[in-house]
Amino acid sequence: MLRPRIQTGANLFQLIKAICREAEEEGKQLFRLSIGQPTGPAFLSARVKAAELIMSDEEKWHEYQDNGCVIPNFAQRFVQAHVPTTRFDQFGERLAYLPIPGIKSMLEIVIMACLHGLPPMEKPLRVYTTTKPGYPTPADQCRYLEDNGAQVRHQALETNPGNQFRFDPEDLNVIGSSLVMTNYPSNPTGQVASREYWKALCAYCELYGLRLFNDAAYAALPHTNEHCTLAAVAVDYPNLSWIEAYSGSKIGNFTGWRVGAMVGSADFIADVANVKGNSDSGFNAALAGGILHVLEHDRESLDATRRLYTGRTELLTNVLQEYGLELAVQPQAGFFTLWQCPKRAFGQVIENSEEFNRLMIMKTGIVGVHFNPYMRYAVCGDVEAMIGPITEGFKEANVSYK
């Protein structure tokens, strides 16, 4: 009987790669539903535009961008492309914008911006995150800061199938200065925040003086009309301190280009810009021009990618449900599906999702990512080409929740 090999402190993805190497050494063909980023090259239209700009002799395309960008109103245009239904120009100086080198590197800066300048009597800064399950970086950054003596206290908010992976604002239990860091649309759940959900959360945060930050890396890839950005709602709360961040990484394979932008209340953006300006030198302007070109002039490529993920998600979901796997939540955006870990598979009791993932890899070659008690299967790979072996694999697994 195969049991999980416990590797204390091992990076989750390194552990999965090690299991995959073991399976390949035994001659197993792998079907990687673990890939969590777009595949293939960046859109041609973006590469052509970026190449044009990178070949320019003008110095401005080759120098530090810092907290700005040589492209006029880049950040505002980038944001507007993600929230086309909102006219941001009507809010004037209440709002501000900031170009950023992707979102991941900004998460620590957002926390530091909230911590910096707090008077001693208002510390520690309490940071609430949607990281259980979820994209772990905000929690990791809090841990690194706290371990090194910073006055930061982290709490992962309770999200589960019972609340559809959208926490109740009342769970925040406000004590002192606080920052709420959300991730909608969500990795790994595929859940979105609705307009009504954002209204409730914005009202709560405004009432109690909490700062609100949303990582909206998947905002351009919704499957349903329920998806709503924080920015579309937060603009109606003049006393709310908030930011929403968008990234070019997921709209096609721009993961290595590191281009994005933020919008938010002027006070919060100013604090982030202050820390960022002392922490990095900005992004590559030519690459930023390539991605902005897609957002403004090549929506066809973007929409085709969104439809591709929507179709693959539907296909994979139908097959896995047919063979007994139960969704943790219906995916509504992005390219992830999250499943309840079964209690039995291959005729044996399953102790946790790591064990189930190892069994699936070693016996069927199907690779997922375990977020105990859940399994994440992504649709970045060619699901259509793999659907036959995937079907046979889950048929063989004969999963059960009894």
pLDDT at 7 over 70: no
The 10s digit of each residue's pLDDT in 318-342 is: 999 999 999 999 999 999 999 999 9
- Structure token pair of residue 299: 């929506």
Overall average pLDDT of the 85-89 stretch: 89
pLDDT of res. 352: 97
pLDDT of res. 96: 97
pLDDT of res. 196: 98
The 10s digit of each residue's pLDDT in 236-255 is: 999 999 999 999 999 999 99
Distances (CA, A) of 105 to 64, 110, 281: 17, 9, 12
Give the range with max mean pLDDT: 10-24, 78-92, 113-127, 342-356: 342-356
Place of tokens 């006055």: 151
Any alpha helices (H) in 90-194, and if so which ranges?
107-115, 137-147
pLDDT at 120 over 90: no
pLDDT of res. 110: 98
pLDDT band at 119 (very low <50, low <70, confident <90, very high): confident
pLDDT of res. 10: 55
pLDDT of res. 6: 39
Average pLDDT, the chain: 94
- Structure token pair of residue 122: 């208002």
Overall average pLDDT of the 55-80 stretch: 98
The 10s digit of each residue's pLDDT in 370-385 is: 999 999 999 999 999 9
pLDDT of res. 258: 97
> Computed from CA positions of residues 42, 65, 245, 79, in that sequence, does the dihedral angle turn out positive or negative?
negative
pLDDT of res. 3: 43
Overall average pLDDT of the 60-86 stretch: 97
Q: How far apart are CA 225 and CA 222, in angstroms?
A: 8
Under DSSP, is residue 98 helix (H, G, I), strand (E, B) or coil?
A: strand
- Structure token pair of residue 246: 């968008």
pLDDT at 221 over 50: yes
pLDDT of res. 215: 98
Q: Is 183 left (phi over 0), alpha (psi -120 to 50) or beta?
A: beta
pLDDT of res. 89: 87
Q: How far apart are CA 383 and CA 315, in angstroms?
A: 8
pLDDT band at 124 (very low <50, low <70, confident <90, very high): very high
The 10s digit of each residue's pLDDT in 90-102 is: 888 999 999 999 9
pLDDT at 5 over 70: no
Distances (CA, A) of 302 to 45, 181, 369: 11, 27, 26
pLDDT band at 176 (very low <50, low <70, confident <90, very high): confident
pLDDT at 9 over 70: no
pLDDT above 90 covers a percentage of the chain that reads 91
The 10s digit of each residue's pLDDT in 27-41 is: 999 999 999 999 999
pLDDT band at 152 (very low <50, low <70, confident <90, very high): very high
DSSP string of 256-297, one letter each residue? TT--EEEEEEHHHHHHHHHHHHTT-----HHHHHHHHHHHHH
pLDDT at 161 over 60: yes
pLDDT at 1 over 60: no
